[in-house]
Every structure is written in C-alpha cells, then in structure tokens.
Amino acid sequence: MTRVLVARLDSVGDVLLAGPAVRAVANGRRAGGGPANDVVFLCGPQGNAAASLLPGISEVYSWQCPWIVNPPPPVTAENLDRLVAFIRNSRITEAVILTSFHQSPLPLALLLRLAGVRYIAGASTDYAGSLLDVRLRPGEDFPEDQPEAERALGIARAAGFTLPPGDDGRLRVSEPPDVRELVGEGPYIVVHPGSSAPSRAWPPLHHAAAVELLEGAGHRVVVTGGPDETTLTATVAGPSALDLGGRTDLRTLSGVIAGASAVVTGNTGPAHLAAAVGTPVACLFSPVVPAIRWAPYGVPLELLGDQNAPCKLSRARECPIPGHPCLASVSPEQVVDAVERLISGVTSLSTRRKVRHK
C-alpha cells in the first residue's frame, strides 16, 4: 500500500474543504488502476481536530508551518528538521499539496524532497523547477474563481487520483455523535456568532436580536461557540436560548449541527462543518474573501451581506471600513427570513449555483 501525504496547513474550514480530495487520494485509482492508498494528513494546529473527522485518513500529523500559521512561529532548523524526520520515518513516497490562491506549495515541496518524497503535486503560479512533478498553473490549468473544495479535488485529480464510484464530491465527516442529551428533544436552529477574524463577524447584538425573533417565531435556538467565546454566546443566547458556549469540541459540534434544521453563522469553520453534515446554512458572509470560493459548499444556502462593499477582496482581518457596512447592514429580520426559507425548502442548491457563476 502506497503512503501518500495530503497537506493542508490552515485552519478548520480549510481542512474540511480538503475532504473530497482526501477521499480521492485514499481511493488510490491512478492511471491503470491500483490499490487504495494509506493517507497521512499534514495540517496546522488549528486544523488538527477537523482532520481527525475526515474519512479516508489513516494518520494526522500537526506541524507549525512558518509561512501559514498566524502568528507565525520562527523559522528554525529544529522545526524544519522535525517535519523532514517525520516524513522520512513515515515511508511517505508521494504527496499532494493543497493551497489557496494566495499560498505557494514550493517551500513545503522543498522540505518533502529533502525527506525523500519522490512524487509531488501542487498548484503554483511560480516556476517550480524540480520541486513539483505535477504543477498546475492557476488561471491557466484551472479557473481561480471556483469553490475551494473543487480546487483541491482538481489538484488531486491532476496527480492521478479520482473519487470512488458513487462519491458525489461533497464535504463529509465521520459519523456525527448523538447529542440529544446535550441539546434535548425537538427541532432547533443553531446560531454560531463567533469568528476567527473581526472583519467576518456580525455584531453580537444583531445576533441576540435574531435569536429573540427566532424564538418569537416558535423556533428553539441553540447557541454555540468555543471556550474563549462564552461571554459572546451568553450575550447572544439571552435568557432562554440554550447556550453551549465552551461545551463542545469539534466532533460534538458536528453532532449539534447535524441535528439542526438550519445554521446561522459567518464565514467560519462551523459553516463548512454544516456543509459536511448536510445542514442548510444562512451565512453572514463578509466579502473580504470571495464567496464563489469560500461559501458553504454543496448545501442549501442563503448568502447574506453586501458582496460589493468597499472591503471586497481585501482579505482584511480587521474591518477597514467604519461601521462594518458589509454585515452590519444585514438586519436580524433578514436573517430570520433566510432561516424560514431554508426550513421551508424554498432555498435550494440553485443558490449555490448563483454564487458560483455570478
């Protein structure tokens, strides 16, 4: 069995979007056929929990990458040697490096070559020399404006790996746990107000108002968030919504989201987790990155937020425009209306197609 490294060194959402590519590599079908592959997944510390949920992975290795992690660790021989030694000792012979448009696979490819990896595929705008055996040129060999999951799958396909028959290429995680003891019985809406960057966050009081309106419309609401977001989730949950802030790891959160009728969230890891468990998403999406690439993939979707706001494509982590108009302009009533459309089934995958082709 061939041991193949799949690398995605970013955070939760990025790793979840790599899932279809991972399954293609694990499938092992190269030109002329072949047995399944043993997939080792290389991720950053923030992506470790997500990688553990992806089907097709036999081993996860977490590494602090100096050119991806933010804030970055210092570049030291010890840190680089640690990765090289792991790759060499793991008997990895092939690698597929997954990156976004603003990232280069070449620094990692150099380290993989030093570790003895014989076959490496990636997408690079820069000349790769002998670092890549398969080099896709973004904008030439594939379009830049496509969903990240499709970009990753395209890189794997160029390396000779294809999805198994019957795999639709959507996001997927291992079986979510039963969380009824945590959330109780009956339908509910998940509201996840947190964000890794302030530029992508809807104001907390807007969230709180939306929760009140959802409850007033007869919906039970569950508010989720990480251990460092408990003040936020308490504010948003108010006196009557179920506050799960700090009470779920990523696997448990997958169960909470899988059981929901819909999820309200920003451009965050939980948005992609919702896509991976098939739950419709009302996504408060800041246009600092393009929705065509980063909106929740393959599920019923309501895309909210001014996608032509002045911050468009700025990749800003702190909002550069006073008043945060791209998201602050979205009213709680609009969010509730979006949720109602999702629940009633009015929104369909046609929303996804509009995002992709506009």
Euclidean distance between CA atoms 84 and 82, whole angstroms: 6
* 131 and 202 part of one domain: no
pLDDT digits over 114-168, tens only? 999 999 999 999 999 999 999 999 999 999 899 999 999 999 999 999 999 999 9
Query: pTM for the full model?
Result: 0.93
Of 128, 158, 188, which one is at a domain's C-terminal end? 158
Helices within the chain (DSSP H only): 12-17, 19-27, 48-51, 77-89, 106-114, 148-158, 180-183, 204-216, 230-237, 250-258, 269-277, 291-294, 325-328, 332-344, 349-357
Residues 115 and 206 in one domain: no
In contact, 200 and 267? CB cutoff 8 Å: yes
pLDDT at 247: 97
Residue 120 in tokens: 């490496």
Q: Does 203 lie in the same domain as 56?
A: no
By CB atoms closer than 10 A (0-12, 13-18, 19+), residue 104 is middle
| Number of domains making up the chain | 2
Angle at CA of residue 60, ends 58 and 64, nearest 5°:
165
- Please tell me whether residues 82 and 131 are part of one structural domain: yes
CA atoms in the 13 A half-sphere facing the CB of 107: 11
The closest alpha carbon to 43, from 18, 24, 71, 72, belongs to 18
Q: What is the mean pLDDT of the chain?
A: 93
Q: Is the dihedral of CA 19, 61, 99, 28 positive or negative?
A: negative
Quote the domain boundaries for residue 235: 180-357
Q: Is 322 contained in some domain?
A: yes
Here the CATH number for the domain that contains residue 346 is 3.40.50.2000
User: How far, in Å, CA of 253 to CA of 297, rounded?
Assistant: 18
pLDDT score for 356? 35
- Give the integer Cα–Cα distance in Å for 283 and 261: 14
Worst-scoring range by mean pLDDT, 173-177, 233-237, 285-289, 350-354?
Answer: 350-354
Q: Would you say residue 253 lies in a domain?
A: yes
pLDDT of residue 348 exceeding 90, the answer is no
Judge whether 167 lies within some domain: no
Last residue in a domain, options 100, 128, 158 = 158
Tens digits of residue pLDDT in 264-286: 999 999 999 999 999 999 999 99
